[in-house]
Amino acid sequence: MMKRVYNFSAGPAMLPGPVIERLREETGDWHGVGMAAMEMSHRSAEFISIAEKAEADLRDLLSIPDSYKVLFMQGGATAQFAVVPMNLCAPGDTADYLVTGYWSRKAAKEAARFCQANIALDTAVNGDTSIAEESQWRLSDKAAFFHYVTNETIGGVRLPTVPVTKAPLVVDMSSSILSELINVNDYGIIYAGAQKNIGPVGLTIVIVRDELLNERKGNGQKDTIPMVLDYRKMADAGSMLNTPPTFSWYAAGLVFEWLKAQGGIEKMAARNRAKADRLYQAIDSSDFYSNPVEKKYRSLMNIPFMLADESLNALFLEQAVERGLTSLKGHRTVGGMRASIYNAMPDEGVDALVAFMSEFERTNG
Ligand SMILES: Cc1ncc(COP(=O)(O)O)c(C=O)c1O
């Protein structure tokens, strides 16, 4: 029997058990061809079939309209922080940034190297634990796009609504994609690093509306974009302008198949909501644990929590590992604990964490 722990890492994160099984079975000999998917030429008929099926399944899961391209890129979400303004802005253009935590702050800072990044709101004033109403955001008149992060992986803050702006929405969904229902038509661009809810690291999914791809800025920046970062060129080449991250693409495809077998995103969303509710309930019903985020904005994927007595942190983490509950240490900027509970985290994992939290409180409270 393979040893498997409940891994609460924020990313790279736990993959579904059945996907790990498929990887094991298919490594060495994929469907009788005598080699693993990761050994195949990306131009081979076999790999093209893997790549096309992964895209078709993703389109199906998220109901991605034909008027959007799906790009399989590299460089992580961090590369997109630069790639988005490179592709959508001419030098001097303004883009609006909603800053709700660590990642959106980083995105805005990187964007400022390629465009005028207007900070529409920065939640640092309240320690990134809440988000002011839209009426208080300072939007610019002619923004090329409006950028935000749906779910701040570190602070555990989620924007529960889709902003209404004149500018197209560009959204970093790294830690929430495929966890809840979305309407792709609401967005100009959706991007996400794979290593949380999609599959192994190395792949970045970019879903881009054709209209934005086709927009050509007259004054220069477009021509200086490295070709592998140029959305139009990547789209024209079917994301195979150069060698794509074939292993991650293939493994993401297995995750998409698994998601479909689970009943799709609606089913996952209900399960995710129930998992998060259970954990928040455990945190809120005790003075021993706390979560600082205003309820309305709490993340369903990444749940930070503090122990009232921080001197118990190390003991908590040590005993958690003994029970097969790993990677619960909070991000260094927040401290305490953080439980990342993406699609692959089974209900039993959350139950085991909640039971351990209660036991730990009994023994140390
Ligand atoms: C919301 C969000 N954006 C961006 C990043 C950075 O991603 P990458 O390491 O893929 O560049 C992360 C990583 O944790 C993230 O959670």
Paired tokens of 74: 């590299």
How far, rounded to the nearest angstrom, does the alpha carbon of residue 342 sit from its chain's CA centroid?
Answer: 9
* Integer Cα distance of 151 and 149 in angstroms: 6
Look-up: residue for tokens 């309305």? 296
The answer to whether 280 and 354 have CB atoms below 8 angstroms apart is: no
The answer to whether residues 170 and 287 belong to one domain is no
The answer to whether residues 240 and 208 belong to one domain is yes
**Global confidence as pTM:** 0.97
Q: State if residue 78 touches ligand 1 by the CB under 6 angstroms criterion.
A: yes
Paired tokens of 345: 């985290």
Catalytic entry in 128, 172, 230, 249: 172
CA of 338 to the centre of ligand 1 (A): 16
Domain boundary among 209, 229, 261: 261
* 251: CATH: 3.40.640.10
How many domains does the chain fold into?
2
The answer to whether residues 45 and 81 belong to one domain is yes
Amino acid (1-letter code) at residue 161 = T
The answer to whether 152 and 103 have CB atoms below 8 angstroms apart is: yes
The answer to whether residues 311 and 246 belong to one domain is no
- pLDDT tens digits, one per residue of 189-228: 999 999 999 999 999 999 999 999 866 554 446 678 899 9
In terms of C-beta density within 10 A (0-12 exposed, 13-18 middle, 19 or more buried), how is residue 115 classed? Answer: buried
By C-alpha distance, which of 305, 323, 326, 329 is closest to 359? 323
CA of 205 to the centre of ligand 1 (A): 12
* 335: CATH: 3.90.1150.10
Which residue owns the Cα nearest ligand 1 atom 1? Answer: 174
- pLDDT tens digits, one per residue of 145-197: 999 999 999 999 999 999 999 999 999 999 999 999 999 999 999 999 999 99
Task: Report helix, strand or coil for 116.
Answer: strand
The answer to whether residues 270 and 147 belong to one domain is no
pLDDT (0 to 100) of residue 365: 83
By C-alpha distance, which of 296, 297, 291, 335 is closest to 157? 297
The answer to whether residues 285 and 208 belong to one domain is no
The answer to whether residues 160 and 273 belong to one domain is no
Does any domain span residue 63?
yes
Q: State if residue 110 touches ligand 1 by the CB under 6 angstroms criterion.
A: no
Look-up: residue for tokens 């351990």? 356
The answer to whether residues 117 and 255 belong to one domain is yes
By C-alpha distance, which of 193, 184, 182 is closest to 158? 182
Domain boundary among 205, 232, 261: 261
Q: State if residue 193 touches ligand 1 by the CB under 6 angstroms criterion.
A: yes
The answer to whether residues 235 and 130 belong to one domain is yes
* Rg, the chain, Cα only: 21
Residues in the chain: 365
The answer to whether residues 251 and 270 belong to one domain is no
For the question of residue 103 being annotated catalytic, the response is: yes
For the question of residue 296 being annotated catalytic, the response is: no
Nearest-atom number in ligand 1 for the CA of 193 is 10
Angle at CA 269, nearest 5°, toward 265 and 271?
A: 120
Does any domain span residue 201?
yes
CA of 149 to the centre of ligand 1 (A): 10
The answer to whether residues 199 and 336 belong to one domain is no
pLDDT in tens, the chain (365 residues): 678 999 999 999 999 999 999 999 999 899 999 999 999 999 999 999 999 999 999 999 999 999 999 999 999 999 999 999 999 998 889 999 999 999 999 999 999 999 999 999 999 999 999 999 999 999 999 999 999 999 999 999 999 999 999 999 999 999 999 999 999 999 999 999 999 999 999 999 999 999 998 665 544 466 788 999 999 999 999 999 999 999 999 999 999 999 999 999 999 999 999 999 999 999 999 999 999 999 999 999 999 999 999 999 999 999 999 999 999 999 999 999 999 999 999 999 999 999 999 999 999 98
The answer to whether residues 252 and 133 belong to one domain is yes
Domain residues for the domain of 48 are: 18-261
Does any domain span residue 179?
yes
The answer to whether 174 and 154 have CB atoms below 8 angstroms apart is: no
